């Protein structure tokens, strides 16, 4: 197991390096400039700006300096757009926000999704099952950019219960709407996966054996059926978790949370090279880390898996 | 020597009657609300709130609350004293001497001196600052600005000098009667040297920042909000009524409208495209539309890469005539915008539009003339690319205009949208046939618009070049009849039609009716919260 983890970590480093090189190349070939304005900047000023941010150096030099600064000082450079902030500052401000509502969304999605899936499977073909399936289908086809405005309309404008956006250091009333908007479709997917895999497991021979020897249903489900039934769910959870804590561009932009997603979009549009790179590396590292965690969880859940 | 002071520039009576100029002018008998706070929605996070680096409207709105320049503007956009109490100009308007008030202080209690302005202006031009707005110092015509920006002269050679702590003398390269107007611009606001030297780039962060305006920054969460509170050191703090200012950054305009309707903030500008008529009906006391000093236009590429046909003024005229601007303004935008037949907006101070024949014609007459012109020109199968930056409203306008050209003139267009940064590149390289563009005045005077179409300036992306036009603009600053010259220059544009003016902007916004003192007639959309107050709900 330890050697497996070490091997995976060893692969992660060249993967991240490849990500950096690829991102650098993409930005190199993208048209536009981080300093473009409608006014047109005199060439002298442009030269000063490029010198200030090291854009006057060659691509290879820039990449080398970039990687060197990360490795030696964990410094992702200054933001091109926000003159008084570094990429580290921006990630330090934005990521905790996204992480907070991402983790809450994950908890809600897993707790509600798994429970719903199990209940639907146990009461297979009953009205409870139909209601659960109906709900999950509905929730899955409602993307969060549709959910968000509907939620704001209901809870902010009509009922006046919750603010329609902002974050304010993560006070609970600012978290609720983003969490509902973000978790709903994940919750639906988790419920559907749990339901179908639970149904399959419940028909398996070892469950029939367990029931035949007279174990109560509750114990059969919790002791015998749950673990194997969750296997497909777990493989979904790794990417889903990364998706929730990073891919929340819509939520960040719509609810003005100040989270990382909005910086990601804005930096791409304004060609804020260092911020795009910093966030890409963050997302890449998280994806690698959580895929690794999922693999470890697999081994724990399914004794058949060996590394 | 001809001496002009501020008193002759603005209304003498108004200044004298008001006595010491008060910030918020609350009429007697008005009951103020207990909660004196003001909040507004901002479309985007300002990239910087450093006066010398700031660009764009969101940043300017922050600077106008936190910093105060030599001159500022009143509700009608006229100059009023800021840190300066007035100024004198020499005979040919190449040297201006500003007198600074002696009670102006920074938020840490230090006095605001002429030296602070010298430092700030040198800093703006200094290549080491690498400001994308360095050009403004050059545009203002301050001596040696161009050389300093180019790195050929030291920043301390800039033509601005602190004669003493309260006297600032500015020397210009050439006559600029409108120079004082330019001092209201954010780039020329003063900054506090010791603070910048202590904190470097982080000097604008809350806790570090020292400013001289009516408010001091308390919090700034990027892409979420910022807030400021009253600066007790401000020279006119006794007359500042609003205690707290905050701004919410909301990209999505419809979401912003919902949150305004839920009462989360006071001011929403602009309202979503096309929603103004409904909002005006629903919130008659809150919905306003005021002219803005901006022009929406199509630039026609007459340069090397441009199509041959666009070098023919008849084709350019025909394209301009065939556009039914009323359809765009009244049916598409519906926000109080005005049809444009001149490049300079009518609302610009000191601008008298020339007699433009086709402006008074009916659209049928214009269409008729357009057909004649295109036939005269004799091009077959005209087909142009029409470039615009990705945006729903630009697409709608481009679609409607391409229909008009196709139906009336048989001119086909291929719509081509690019996202902002790419679009700017394409325009700068002159790699287009026809491109959507817009221009907003940097100060309230026609030269800020007309200067865009001079030969060789970077903003003139259609490469228009006309000797007579350039000569007129060269004469303008020293001319007795400046207005007449601008009118003549604009007449050349309506003949040559290097760009097609489509509409003049309006600012359609929603403002909580309890907020008073908002400058409804300031066409540059400069507002200072220090002039606002909130009345008690009746």
Q: Is residue A154 part of a domain?
A: yes
> Rounded CA gap, B212 and B189, in Å?
9
> Rounded CA gap, B81 and B529, in Å?
16
Question: Pseudo-torsion of CA B371, B376, B380, B381, nearest 10°?
Answer: -30
Which of A26, A43, A44, A161 should one mutate to test binding to chain B, selecting the residue with the greatest count of B CBs within 10 A?
A44
Using a CB-CB distance cutoff of 8 angstroms, which residues of chain A are in contact with residue B203? 84
CB neighbour class for A48 (10 Å; exposed up to 12, middle 13-18, buried from 19): buried
- Name the residue among B505, B496, B504, B422 with its Cα closest to residue B453: B496
Q: CB A157 to CB B261 under 8 A?
A: yes
Q: Is residue A243 part of a domain?
A: yes
CB proximity list for B326: less than 8 A, separation 6 or greater: B339, B363
CA distances to A135, A136, A218, A226, B1 from A120, in Å: 11, 11, 15, 14, 93
DSSP code at position B440:
E
Q: Is residue A264 part of a domain?
A: yes
- The reported pLDDT for the residue numbered B14 is 35
CB proximity list for B112: less than 8 A, separation 6 or greater: B83, B100, B104, B105, B106, B190, B212
Q: CB B221 to CB A48 under 8 A?
A: no
> Rounded CA gap, B46 and B55, in Å?
8
Q: CB A39 to CB B459 under 8 A?
A: yes
Q: Is residue A212 part of a domain?
A: yes
> Where is average pLDDT lowest: A115-129, A281-295, B115-129, B254-268?
A281-295
Using a CB-CB distance cutoff of 8 angstroms, which residues of chain B are in contact with residue A41? 132, 135, 458
Mean pLDDT score, B283-299: 95
- The reported pLDDT for the residue numbered B538 is 66
> Rounded CA gap, A150 and B350, in Å?
49
CA distances to B31, B220, B223, B298 from A93, in Å: 41, 11, 10, 41
Q: Which of A36, A157, A256 sits opposite B258 (nearest CB)?
A: A157
**Predicted complex ipTM:** 0.86
How would residue B44 be classed by pLDDT, with cut points 50, 70 and 90? confident
The dihedral region occupied by A139, where left means phi > 0, alpha psi between -120 and 50, and beta the remainder, is alpha
Q: CB B224 to CB A256 under 8 A?
A: yes
- Does residue B13 surpass a pLDDT of 60? no
- Does residue B19 surpass a pLDDT of 50? no
Q: CB B130 to CB A258 under 8 A?
A: no
Nearest CA in chain B to A253: B251
- Does residue A7 surpass a pLDDT of 70? yes
Using a CB-CB distance cutoff of 8 angstroms, which residues of chain A are in contact with residue B149? 42, 44-45
Which tokens go with A19? 């990500």
How would residue B21 be classed by pLDDT, with cut points 50, 70 and 90? low
- Does residue A98 surpass a pLDDT of 80? yes
Question: Pseudo-torsion of CA B525, B531, B537, B538, nearest 10°?
Answer: -100
Q: Is residue A28 part of a domain?
A: no
Q: What is the pLDDT of residues B454-510, one digit of tens each?
A: 998 888 999 999 999 999 999 998 888 999 999 999 999 999 999 999 999 999 999
Which domains does chain B show, CATH number per domain?
Answer: 2-9+26-246+512-534 (3.90.76.10), 291-506 (3.10.105.10)
- Residue A34 Cα, gap to closest chain B Cα (Å): 8
- What's the domain count of chain A? 1
What is the number of other CB atoms lying within 10 angstroms of the CB of residue B239? 17
Q: Which of A84, A94, A152 sits opposite B50 (nearest CB)?
A: A84
Distance in Å from the first CA to the final CA of chain B? 56
Mean pLDDT score, A274-279: 92
How would residue A296 be classed by pLDDT, with cut points 50, 70 and 90? confident
CATH number of the domain residue A151 falls in:
1.10.3720.10
Nearest CA in chain A to B389: A38
Q: CB B428 to CB A40 under 8 A?
A: yes
Q: What are phi and psi of A36, to 5 degrees?
A: -65, 135
> Rounded CA gap, A247 and A253, in Å?
11
Q: Is residue A32 part of a domain?
A: no
Q: What is the pLDDT of residues A106-137, one digit of tens each?
A: 999 999 999 999 999 999 999 999 999 999 99
CA B373 and chain centroid, separation: 35
Question: Hey, which residues 92-131 in chain A have their CB within 8 Å of chain B?
Answer: 93-94
Mean pLDDT score, B89-97: 94
Mean pLDDT of chain B: 91
- Does residue A39 surpass a pLDDT of 90? no
Q: CB A266 to CB B261 under 8 A?
A: no
> Rounded CA gap, A237 and A291, in Å?
9
Mean pLDDT score, A159-163: 94
Q: Which of B130, B138, B258 sits opposite A48 (nearest CB)?
A: B130
CA B5 and chain centroid, separation: 25
Domain residues for A250? 94-269
> Where is average pLDDT lowest: A83-87, A156-160, B188-192?
A83-87
- The reported pLDDT for the residue numbered B324 is 96
> Rounded CA gap, B490 and A109, in Å?
63
Q: Which helix (H) or strand (E) holds B213?
A: none
Mean pLDDT score, A150-172: 92
Question: Hey, which residues 4-33 in chain A have their CB within 8 Å of chain B?
Answer: 30-33
Using a CB-CB distance cutoff of 8 angstroms, which residues of chain A are in contact with residue B144? none
């Amino acid at each position: 197991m330890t050697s497996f983890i070490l091997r995976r970590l060893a692969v992660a480093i060249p993967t991240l390096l490849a990500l950096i090189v690829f991102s650098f190349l993409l930005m190199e070939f993208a048209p536009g400039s981080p300093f473009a304005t409608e006014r047109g900047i005199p060439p002298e000023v442009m030269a000063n700006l490029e010198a200030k941010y090291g854009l006057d150096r060659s691509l290879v030099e820039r990449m080398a300096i970039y990687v060197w600064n990360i490795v030696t000082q964990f410094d992702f450079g200054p933001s091109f757009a926000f003159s008084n902030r570094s990429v580290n500052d921006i990630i330090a401000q934005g990521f905790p926000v996204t992480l907070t509502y991402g983790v809450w969304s994950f908890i809600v999605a897993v707790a509600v999704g798994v429970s719903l899936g199990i209940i639907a499977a146990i009461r297979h073909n009953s009205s409870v099952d139909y209601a659960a399936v109906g709900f999950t289908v509905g929730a899955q086809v409602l993307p969060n950019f549709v959910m968000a405005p509907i939620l704001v309309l209901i809870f902010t404008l009509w009922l006046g219960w919750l603010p329609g956006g902002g974050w304010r250091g993560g006070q609970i009333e600012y978290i609720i709407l983003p969490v509902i908007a973000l978790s709903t479709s994940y919750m639906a997917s988790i419920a559907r996966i749990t339901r179908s895999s639970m149904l399959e497991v419940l028909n398996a021979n070892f469950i029939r054996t367990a029931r035949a020897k007279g174990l109560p249903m509750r114990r059969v489900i919790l002791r015998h059926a749950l673990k194997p039934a969750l296997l497909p769910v777990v493989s979904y959870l790794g990417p889903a978790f990364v998706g929730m804590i990073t891919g929340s561009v819509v939520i960040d932009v719509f609810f003005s949370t100040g989270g990382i997603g909005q910086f990601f979009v804005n930096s791409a549009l304004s060609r804020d090279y260092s911020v795009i790179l910093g966030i890409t590396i963050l997302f890449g590292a998280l994806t690698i880390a959580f895929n690794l965690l999922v693999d470890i969880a697999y081994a724990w859940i399914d004794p058949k898996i060996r590394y | 020597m001809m001496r002009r002071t501020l008193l002759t520039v603005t209304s003498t009576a108004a200044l004298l009657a008001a006595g010491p100029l008060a910030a918020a002018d609350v009429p007697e008998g008005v009951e103020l609300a207990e909660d004196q706070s003001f909040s507004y929605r901002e479309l985007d996070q300002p990239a910087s709130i450093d006066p010398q680096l700031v660009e764009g409207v969101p940043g300017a709105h922050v600077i106008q609350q936190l910093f105060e320049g030599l001159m500022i503007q009143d509700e009608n956009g006229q100059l009023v004293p800021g840190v300066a109490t007035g100024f004198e100009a020499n005979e040919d308007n190449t040297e201006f001497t500003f007198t600074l008030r002696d009670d102006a202080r920074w938020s840490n209690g230090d006095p605001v001196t002429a030296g602070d302005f010298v430092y700030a202006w040198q800093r703006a031009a200094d290549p080491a600052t690498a400001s994308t707005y360095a050009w403004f110092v050059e545009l203002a015509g301050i001596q040696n600005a161009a050389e300093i920006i180019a790195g050929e002269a030291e920043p301390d050679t800039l033509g601005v000098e602190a004669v003493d702590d309260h006297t600032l003398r500015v020397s210009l390269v050439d006559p600029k009667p409108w120079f004082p107007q330019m001092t209201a611009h954010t780039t020329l606001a003063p900054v506090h040297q010791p603070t910048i030297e202590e904190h470097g780039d982080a000097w604008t962060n809350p806790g570090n920042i020292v400013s001289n305006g009516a408010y001091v920054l308390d919090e700034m969460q990027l892409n979420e909000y910022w807030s400021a509170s009253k600066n007790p050191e401000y020279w006119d703090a006794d007359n500042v009524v609003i205690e707290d200012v905050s701004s919410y950054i909301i990209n999505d305009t419809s979401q912003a409208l919902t949150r305004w309707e839920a009462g989360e903030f006071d001011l929403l500008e602009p309202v979503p495209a096309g929603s103004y008529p409904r909002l005006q009906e629903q919130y008659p006391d809150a919905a306003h539309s005021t002219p803005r000093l901006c022009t929406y236009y199509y630039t026609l590429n007459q340069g090397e890469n441009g199509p041959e046909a666009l070098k023919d003024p008849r084709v350019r005229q025909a394209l301009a005539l065939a556009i039914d601007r009323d359809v765009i303004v009244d049916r598409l935008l519906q926000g109080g915008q005005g049809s444009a037949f001149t490049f300079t907006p009518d609302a610009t101070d000191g601008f008298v539009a020339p007699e433009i024949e086709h402006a008074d014609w009916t659209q049928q007459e214009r269409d008729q003339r357009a057909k004649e012109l295109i036939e005269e020109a004799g091009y077959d199968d005209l087909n142009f690319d029409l470039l615009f930056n990705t945006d729903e409203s630009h697409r709608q306008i481009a679609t409607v205009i391409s229909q008009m050209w196709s139906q009336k003139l048989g001119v086909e267009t291929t719509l081509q949208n690019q996202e902002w940064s790419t679009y700017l590149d394409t325009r700068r390289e002159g790699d287009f046939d026809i491109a959507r563009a817009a221009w907003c005045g940097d100060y309230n005077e026609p030269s800020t618009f007309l200067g865009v179409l001079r030969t060789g300036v970077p903003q003139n992306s259609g490469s228009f070049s006309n000797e007579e036009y350039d000569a007129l603009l060269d004469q303008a600053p020293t001319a007795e009849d400046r207005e007449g010259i601008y009118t003549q220059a604009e007449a050349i544009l309506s003949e040559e039609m290097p760009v097609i003016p489509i509409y003049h902007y309006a600012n359609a916004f929603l403002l909580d009716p309890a907020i008073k003192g908002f400058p409804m007639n300031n066409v540059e959309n400069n507002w200072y919260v220090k002039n606002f107050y909130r009345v008690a709900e009746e």
